[in-house]
Amino acid sequence: AKGGTLTIMASGAEAVFARAKHALSALGDKLFHVGPEPGQGAAVKTVNQLLCGVHIAVAAEAFALAEKAGIDGKLALEILGGSAAGSWMLNNRGPRMFEDEPMVASAVDIFVKDLGIVADAGRASKTPLPIAAAALQMFLTASAMGLGAKDDSQVIEAYRHMAGLKKS
């Protein structure tokens, strides 16, 4: 769910989807029939989680680099969030990277699980996913640091630790 909306991605035979469309529409405001094969809806969810996990990890990496250069992370977020580098995920998770104890919207360990599913999907389809693999390693690092139950934005602490930075 994003901003009070829920996207439903379903797959199956067109006739079955047509019969189920009304019931599925009750579950969310955006409904997509993504194909006839079982599992294609789940595949789209997996692709979504790949993008979300990578976005969070790369935002954390960028802010760690900014902090290492002596740039205030909150200022970097203000600048980048309104630039071509901005994204929904950057503007949603970025502010929480600078909070001491942010509310947990989704935990680090959720992305350990989700990016593990992404890695499994890549392996099963023989699709290389090197950037997703790197993001998974950063979420695993954060989890190993004891941050598994913390908000997923706190993956930034793994980057800060590797860069020799203290939390801002």
Q: Is 159 exposed, middle or buried (0-12, 13-18, 19+ CB in 10 A)?
A: buried
Give the CA-trace dihedral at 49, 110, 162, 67, to 10 degrees: 70
**Catalytic sites, residue numbers:** 45
Can you tell me which residue has the tokens 């993008």?
51
- pLDDT score, position 167: 61
Over residues 52-88, the pLDDT tens digits come to 999 999 999 999 999 999 999 999 999 999 999 999 9
Q: What angle do CA 161, 166, 168 make, to 5 degrees?
A: 125
- pLDDT score, position 134: 98
Over residues 121-163, the pLDDT tens digits come to 999 999 999 999 999 999 999 999 999 999 999 999 999 999 9
Question: What is the distance between the alpha carbons of residues 154 and 114, in angstroms, rounded to a whole number?
Answer: 16
Q: Output the pTM of the full model.
A: 0.89
